[in-house]
């Protein structure tokens, strides 16, 4: 992420969740508040640039689309990010629902971006403290925007600004009301691909160190094939080039066959490791609108030993 710049990808992902909530009938994930957090006046710009991106994802037929709304509808289904953000958010909150029933008391959202959980699910806050950990610039923008649109944050939501290039997760949690003795679920969505491999492992090790055995971390990752041009899906290559151009290049993938060993070395047991075809079966099976699981994206659910 460029220094001192609000994460563009966080804003665009929020737009995509909002679009799905507003325009699609059968919901993969219903983020009805996401649109409100997009910067004032940005929606038309995001829409025109996404519609324009259809030329990259489907150059043969892009010119035949009659209007921007139709092009936007099509590109939302073709490009990887909408399916990626919707399915991983759904997977995480489904897992969280089960975890809370089993006694989880804290939900720590790493790289939260414009996540709206604490505002969308007030009933969950009777049992849960929520910690949003994010880059200070992105988090400051979010807090300003929440104030602008009159969304008062609940007492159970705690903001922890941190630049992981400057400070560790453990240090940042230590200066908050986070309780290292309480069972917790950490989510880390849409972030691992942007970080060096060692930084991903350092943060996962921090999670294992700062939470009791039995706590959970959910994260998504790209497999290493995504970074090999001969093996990467075309649409993933297009997406990688687009995020590189906004200053947030994707740089790291993991081998789904060895990640269990990597995690074990950090004090984490891999409980579930969903492949693209698993994700397709869980969240996209039977859909006729062409949303589909993204090649190369995997979901990991690991438990602290
Ligand atoms: C692609 S966005 C994902 C946002 C959200 N999890 C989602 O799925 O919509 C990446 C997030 O990582 C955060 N991030 C990037 N670099 C960071 C850093 N050095 N320290 C802390 N957070 C960082 C950004 O602020 C942003 O919120």
Between CA 295 and CA 98 the distance in angstroms is: 27
Region 80-304: CATH code: 3.40.50.150
- Ligand 1 binding pocket includes 116 (Cβ within 6 Å): no
Please list, in sequence order, all residues whose beta carbon lies within 8 angstroms of the beta carbon of residue 154, skipping any fewer than 6 positions away. 118, 119, 122, 125
Q: Using N-to-C axis directions, what is the helix angle for 68-78 and 8-23, rounded to 10°?
A: 110
Q: How far apart are the first and last CA of the chain?
A: 32
Report the Cα 230 to chain-centroid distance in Å. Answer: 26
* Three-state DSSP state, 155: coil
CB 153 within 8 A of CB 146: yes
Rounded to the nearest angstrom, the distance between the alpha carbon of 138 and the centre of ligand 1 is 8
Q: Strand pairing partners for 221?
A: 298
Q: pLDDT tens for the chain, 305 residues: list them.
A: 555 789 999 999 999 999 999 999 999 999 999 999 999 999 999 999 999 999 999 998 888 888 999 999 999 999 999 999 999 999 999 999 999 999 999 999 999 999 999 999 999 999 999 999 999 999 999 999 999 999 999 999 999 999 988 889 999 999 999 999 999 999 999 999 999 999 999 999 999 999 999 999 999 999 999 999 999 999 999 999 999 998 989 999 999 999 999 999 999 999 999 999 999 999 999 999 999 999 999 999 999 99
Residue 30 CA to ligand 1 center (angstroms) comes to 21
State in Å: Cα 7 to ligand 1 middle: 7
Q: Is 37's C-beta closer than 6 angstroms to any atom of ligand 1?
A: no
Pocket test for ligand 1, best of 21, 113, 217 (most atoms within 8 A of CB): 113
- Ligand 1 neighbour 109 (Cβ under 6 A): no
**CB of 104 closer than 8 Å to CB of 212:** no
195 lines ligand 1 (CB under 6 A): no
Question: What distance in angstroms lies between residue 66's CA and the mean position of ligand 1's atoms?
Answer: 35
CA-proximal residue: ligand 1, atom 21 (nearest): 135
Minimum CA distance residue for ligand 1 atom 22:
135
Please give the torsion angle defined by the CA atoms of residues 34, 36, 39 and 44, in that order, rounded to the nearest 10 degrees: 80
Does ligand 1 lie within 6 Å of residue 135's CB atom?
Answer: yes
pLDDT (0 to 100) of residue 2: 53
Provide φ and ψ at 42, rounded to 5°. -85, -20
Q: Which residues have a Cβ under 8 Å from the Cβ of 199 and sit 6 or more positions away?
A: 164
Q: Report the 10 Å Cβ neighbour count for 46.
A: 20
To the nearest 10°, report the CA torsion of 185, 4, 81, 221: -50
Contact 77, 291 (CB under 8 A): yes
- For ligand 1, whether the C-beta of 9 sits within 6 Å is yes
Domain locations in the chain as residue ranges? 80-304
């Amino acid at each position: 992420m460029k220094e001192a710049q609000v994460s563009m990808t966080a804003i665009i992902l929020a737009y995509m969740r909002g679009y799905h909530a507003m325009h699609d009938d059968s919901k993969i994930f219903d983020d009805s508040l996401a649109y409100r957090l997009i910067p004032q006046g940005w929606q038309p710009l995001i829409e025109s640039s996404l519609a324009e991106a259809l030329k990259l994802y489907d150059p043969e037929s892009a010119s035949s689309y009659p209007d921007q709304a139709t092009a936007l509808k099509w590109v939302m289904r073709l490009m990887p990010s909408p399916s990626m953000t919707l399915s991983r958010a759904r997977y995480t909150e489904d897992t969280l629902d089960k975890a809370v029933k089993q006694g989880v008391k804290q939900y720590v959202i790493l790289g939260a971006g414009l996540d709206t959980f604490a505002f969308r699910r007030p009933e969950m806050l009777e049992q849960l403290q929520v910690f949003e950990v994010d880059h200070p610039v992105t988090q400051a923008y979010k807090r300003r925007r929440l104030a602008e649109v009159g969304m008062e944050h609940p007492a159970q939501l705690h903001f922890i600004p941190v630049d992981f290039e400057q400070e560790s997760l453990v240090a940042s949690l230590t200066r908050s009301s986070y309780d290292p003795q309480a069972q917790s679920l950490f989510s880390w969505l849409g972030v691992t691909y942007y970080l060096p491999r060692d930084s991903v492992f350092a943060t996962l090790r921090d999670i294992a160190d700062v939470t009791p055995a039995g706590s959970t971390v959910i994260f998504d990752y790209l497999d290493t094939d995504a970074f090999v041009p001969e093996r990467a899906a075309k649409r993933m290559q297009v997406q990688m080039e687009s995020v590189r151009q906004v200053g947030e290049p994707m740089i790291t993938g993991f081998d789904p066959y060895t990640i269990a060993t990597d995690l074990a070395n950090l004090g984490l047991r891999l409980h579930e490791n969903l492949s693209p075809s698993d994700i397709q079966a869980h969240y996209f099976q039977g859909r006729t609108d062409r949303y589909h699981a993204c090649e190369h994206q995997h979901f990991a659910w690991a438990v602290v030993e």
